[in-house]
Amino acid sequence: MSPAALIQAADPRQQVGEFAHYLRQHGFALGYAEVELMVQSAAALPVQQWERIAGLWRAIASGSHTQWSRYPEVHQAYWFPNKVKGKTRNSGLTQRSRSLPDLVKQMHSDMGDDPPGAAKPLLGVTDVPGSGDMEAPDSPKRAQGGASRTAPQDQRDFSEWLPGDMDRFEPLVEAFKRRLRTKLMRRYQGHPDHGAIHLRRSLRSALATGGELVKLHHVKRKRRMPQVVVLVDVSRSMEAHAQFFLRLSRALVEIMNARAFVFHTRLAEVTPLMRQRSKRIQEKVNAVSFGFGGGTRIAHCLNEALDVHLGRSLKRGDLFMVLSDGYDTDEPQGLRDVLARVQGRGARVCWLHPTVDVPQSAAVVLAAEHVTRFMPVHNLASLSRLPELLV
């Protein structure tokens, strides 16, 4: 049977369902309603305008800017695989060829005179293997013999990671964020329907209804999410680890709205840079850090962060995270004093070090009493212990 005949024989809805399944494999979240909408939109267009379908399906399938940018490539790869450069073709596999124009023609002939908005039961789609059930992955194979289910990446040191591996930070930071509890403040703020009655405001608004208390105004105590401050040491001794710590701090900025600083002999805030989704971020952060020279002045930089940048914004329950190996050229007492100041404000001081053991530099040993917790973050497994910082 020729490919064209195969297409004629196949149900167009099923083909759209297969495409939806393909999209799901590429990270697009499509349900029944979306597949139905894709079918409807293709049927609503005149046959001659089948080329518009990519744009319409893009609007249906995408839910974010990232997906929006990726869609054309995925669409092209599925429907026009021959046009995709660098495609590897496996011989011996009998895969039915796809043709979007033919599919649209077939859809029109099948659906006839249906009005564009008319909903039809989505026949065929549920029969597509995997297309109907998004939650039906094959159960993972159990480890057998001496095999382990632990991904080698979990135990691999950060200095051996490739840039592509960095995306694994986000889920861990997400888990960390979930553990962060809001703090109850003394001040009150209005709430639409819960909390204590705000008598003055209620009486004031009752003036509009002749003194009748028709609508009560409520207030509740404010809640505040603890602020997270990340300070990354980018000195020469941290060269091998700095970019991974910067990536971690970027995840903290994106997910937990943290404030990020880099320091060396001087300090610079990089929070706005971390928020930008530019490819040149790394270059810019490097430019900022390379300008400082080779030494490390931790105490001086932490003091600057505290006095110049954070001001009074560091409060009780906040998280003050220092990512450093602890080698300091300042006086050892300097670090102890500044960390005592941080702790005096009620913030938790967490020292994340790239070594397995706690740094043994004189400054860190002296300041250890003011550090709430030391934690090694040399690989992914150790990073999964981040929530312990909040205990």
Query: Applying CB under 8 A, which residues contact other proteins?
Result: 29, 31, 33-34, 37, 40-41, 44, 46, 49, 52, 55-56, 58-60, 62-65, 68-69, 116-117, 190, 192, 208-210, 212, 214-215, 272, 276, 278, 280, 284
Nearest CB to other proteins, comparing residues 64 and 150: 64
Nearest CB to other proteins, comparing residues 56 and 366: 56
Biggest CA–CA distance in the chain, Å, is: 85
- Residue closest to 323 by CA, chosen among 293, 296, 284, 290: 296
Answer whether 296's CB lies under 8 Å from 335's CB: no
Answer whether 304's CB lies under 8 Å from 231's CB: no
Torsional sign, CA 207, 209, 210, 214: negative
Nearest CB to other proteins, comparing residues 50 and 158: 50
**What is the closest distance, in whole angstroms, from the C-beta atom of residue 192 to other proteins in the complex?**
5
**What is the closest distance, in whole angstroms, from the C-beta atom of residue 248 to other proteins in the complex?**
21
**What is the closest distance, in whole angstroms, from the C-beta atom of residue 117 to other proteins in the complex?**
6
Going by DSSP bridges, is the β-strand pair 259-263/267-269 parallel, antiparallel, or unpaired?
antiparallel
Answer whether 314's CB lies under 8 Å from 306's CB: yes
**What is the closest distance, in whole angstroms, from the C-beta atom of residue 105 to other proteins in the complex?**
18
**What is the closest distance, in whole angstroms, from the C-beta atom of residue 65 to other proteins in the complex?**
5
**What is the closest distance, in whole angstroms, from the C-beta atom of residue 340 to other proteins in the complex?**
34
| ∠ Cα 320 301 243 (to 5°) | 70
Going by DSSP bridges, is the β-strand pair 218-224/259-263 parallel, antiparallel, or unpaired?
unpaired
**What is the closest distance, in whole angstroms, from the C-beta atom of residue 164 to other proteins in the complex?**
23
